[in-house]
């Protein structure tokens, strides 16, 4: 099967990206070939290509999550959610090389697509969803807790808000004034970031802020979190690992053993929530697959206004 896909031929960023043609071998036992209808675009896609430095990894496939239809399935193989046949609509996460017209992946990464999500939404469900759920796990969030969330209007932030609303958790979310209504729509209490942030948070709630979740990575986010939360083991960042090492709080990463195990096991629950309409994926826009560098530039800018998908 013919495919066109994006790879990185070096570690310098988008200038090293190339759109190539390739041939896919038929899937073997435990594998599935997916005809891609949408590929999710995430900041991690570019960061990974800039972080890997072993020339043996080149050319490096780009993209971690896709949605599409099964084009072929290996012998004696079932997808992770059970069954699986040519033509079935599916999504897959923790794949390598999702920026493609087709790719072959381990069947363990493939799940039936909920009918409630279109292909661009399904292609953006699991990376942000697993990250958000892992942050809540690591911070030991419980019902009636009050939590500070930085970058609350971003993809991970909006997913945290939805989980928190289902669990009866109060979330105060830092935003720009333009994004305040977005946070309210998902059940959060918006607070403007900028000087005086900690005092504005204290003015919003008489309850103690028991945990802070940082998806922004700014010094202000870290400093206000440490000022408001007494227990540093409940200050969680996915964006400021150097500050976490220096100041003794928690930096999460998807390759850490505990996080990896949790994120793998939580995928079916996220899909069930999406199927029931209790977890939605706000989309900003789509781009043709050939315009992947442009889409990555928008995501890397930090304010895409929702999720972005590539359409082959």
CA neighbours closer than 13 Å in the CB half-sphere of residue 298: 17
Cβ–Cβ < 8 Å for 43, 73:
no
Cβ–Cβ < 8 Å for 35, 71:
yes
pTM, two decimal places: 0.96
147 has which bridge partners? 171, 211
Spell out the domains of the chain, with CATH numbers in brackets.
2-125+281-311 (3.90.180.10), 128-251 (3.40.50.720)
Cβ–Cβ < 8 Å for 125, 271:
yes
pLDDT tens-digit profile, the chain (312 residues): 999 999 999 999 999 999 999 999 999 999 999 999 999 999 999 998 888 778 889 999 999 999 999 999 999 999 999 999 999 999 999 999 999 999 999 999 999 999 999 999 999 999 999 999 999 999 999 999 999 999 999 999 999 999 999 999 999 999 999 999 999 999 999 999 999 999 999 999 999 999 999 999 999 999 999 999 999 999 999 999 999 999 999 999 999 999 999 999 999 999 999 999 999 999 999 999 999 999 999 998 888 889 999 999
């Amino acid at each position: 099967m013919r495919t066109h896909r994006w790879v990185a031929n070096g570690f310098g960023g988008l200038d090293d990206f190339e759109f190539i043609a390739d041939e896919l071998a038929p899937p073997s036992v435990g594998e599935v070939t997916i005809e891609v209808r949408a590929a999710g675009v995430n900041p991690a896609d570019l960061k990974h290509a800039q972080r890997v430095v072993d020339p043996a990894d080149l050319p490096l496939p780009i993209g971690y999550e896709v949605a599409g239809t099964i084009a072929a399935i290996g012998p004696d193989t079932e997808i992770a959610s059970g069954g699986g046949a040519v033509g079935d609509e599916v999504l897959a996460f923790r794949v390598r090389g999702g920026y493609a017209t087709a790719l072959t992946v381990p069947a363990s990464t493939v799940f039936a697509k909920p009918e409630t999500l279109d292909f661009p939404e399904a292609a953006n469900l699991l990376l942000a969803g697993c990250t958000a759920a892992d942050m809540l796990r690591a911070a030991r969030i419980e019902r009636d807790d009050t939590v500070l969330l930085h970058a609350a209007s971003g993809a991970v932030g909006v997913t945290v808000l939805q989980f928190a609303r289902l669990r009866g958790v109060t979330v105060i979310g830092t935003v720009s004034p333009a994004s305040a209504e977005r946070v309210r729509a998902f059940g959060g209490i918006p607070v403007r970031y900028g000087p005086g942030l900690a005092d504005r948070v204290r003015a919003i709630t008489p309850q103690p802020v028991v945990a802070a979740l940082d998806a922004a990575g700014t010094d202000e986010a870290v400093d206000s979190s440490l000022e408001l939360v007494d227990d540093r083991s409940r200050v969680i960042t996915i964006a400021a690992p150097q500050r976490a090492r220096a100041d003794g709080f928690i930096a999460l990463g998807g390759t850490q053993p505990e996080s990896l195990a949790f994120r793998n096991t939580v995928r079916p629950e996220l899909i069930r929530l999406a199927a029931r309409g209790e977890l939605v994926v706000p989309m900003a826009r789509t781009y043709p697959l050939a315009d992947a560098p442009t889409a990555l530039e928008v995501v890397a800018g930090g304010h895409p206004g929702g999720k972005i998908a590539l359409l082959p």
